[in-house]
A and B are shown apart, each in its own frame.
Chain A
């Protein structure tokens, strides 16, 4: 287990290094002078010179990269051009809101999607399978922001069950939950459609294997086959599915935040984009990617706990 952990951690380290590198090259995609782009046409020469010096724009790209890397590993991702505060603290401030939304959505997606995937796989070819898979197809095909707008229309404006916008109207845990419910449900249902499709194919793969056919031939009850033989072995692919969909949920959470006017990393990044505050965009993208990698590493470690065979790989 110790060497497995060490291998996972060194892999994590390389990936983090790569993520910082990618965000460095994002700035290279800006045509022309990045400093001019960020500060706008009315920037003073002094301000331009300061930012250029800070980013090392007058030096060769390799030196710029070294400078960026050296600053990034100490947590210095530059300052927001608009607020003047450190970009990292701006992003970290809005991170809890996005994390709560993404995890709530993912939890709803797993609670709906995994049982649906198992049911459709076990009842392959029946009307229940066809119906659920058609709903899942619609779920992955409607844009998540459109689902948000449609649900605001139905549940907030027509039925008046939930507030349409914002993250809370006062103090207290239940108030926050009340405001979170609709956005989390929309995100959850959208992601659940993916989870259903992926779980179904993972389960189908397993129930097609020889040991399941042998168990069937031996007359093992269907309940035991599904839960004890098939589901247990499907846990690893299902955990992998959760990992794959986590990045997707974070991407969708950006759009959900905008539709429901909730604070969060997505809203912060979008505001930064329209203000051309590119260091803030860069910091936001970096932090979210790091979040995806950390969650996936934790999942990898969970595999090892669930299945001893994984530690040997």
Chain B
């Protein structure tokens, strides 16, 4: 793959591969259980036994961060899958079918894009209750209009191309053309948006968990750990700071991957994918 010759893509890929490994191997590599409390050893500073110290219940921060990796990855992958499926379907239908379907869809997308994405996710989680599933659903729904908008724009550029006209001339049905020609050819720019979606999902989950509306404690997530550490910011700054670095590392990796894909897959789509970021 020529993508691997792009330095940014390579760095992003390596970081993500490493994080996936950490998430899968968490039970083996974490020094403690993320839920193991040690009330004799609360809010300890970094030491040989607890590399990043402990929180107010004496739980090992490093272990909580290691186990938190899988939650962030789960959120990123699920949001990507859900918002891509929904957004691509809606965007492709609007762009390909045209007419009143397109006009209505575009209005609805514009209306949904008026809501700050994070606020929309927050309101949905408030209604559905706080759980991993709610967070995934809320962030996916908040990101779907963005995917749909990009997908429609891409389909509009593909529809007039000669090979589509040729397929029409050959007597292919519209659905066949949509599924076998339009959608596969629209994938490159949409994949770039998907990486932005995954990054947005991780930041969204962290923000909701930080506000206490995301995945509920004692389950360790990076956002939870930052929230836990906020109270002890002055005495134990390492708790919040280290969790923030984990989030940033994963989001940087996803953005590098996205930038790399954008540069290598389809240079013409540079603008569309950029302008749709949250």
Contact = CB atoms under 8 A, between A and B. Distances in A.
Nearest to A15: B111
Contacts of A19: 111, 114-115
Interface stretch (B30-38, B55-63, B78-86, B269-277): B269-277
Interface size class of A (residues with CB under 8 A): 35 or more
A141 B114 contact: no
Interface string A131-155: 0000001101111111001101100
Contacts of A30: 127-128
Contacts, number: 153
B241 interface: yes
Contacts of A205: 270-271
- B interface, by DSSP: helix, strand, loop or mixed? helix
B252 interface: yes
A29 B113 CA distance: 19
Contacts of B226: 143, 145-146, 149
Interface in B176-234: 199, 203, 206-207, 210-213, 223, 226, 230, 233-234
Contacts of A202: 271
A149 B233 contact: yes
A168 to B, nearest CB: 22
A292 interface: yes
Interface in B219-261: 223, 226, 230, 233-234, 237, 240-241, 243-244, 247-249, 251-252, 255-256
B47 interface: no
Interface size class of B (residues with CB under 8 A): 35 or more
A22 B127 CA distance: 14
Interface stretch (B87-95, B117-125, B162-170): B117-125
A143 B114 contact: no
A270 to B, nearest CB: 6
A250 B116 contact: yes
19 contacts: A18-B110, A22-B112, A26-B124, A27-B127, A140-B277, A142-B244, A143-B206, A143-B210, A143-B226, A145-B210, A146-B226, A150-B240, A150-B241, A198-B277, A201-B274, A251-B119, A251-B278, A282-B123, A288-B119
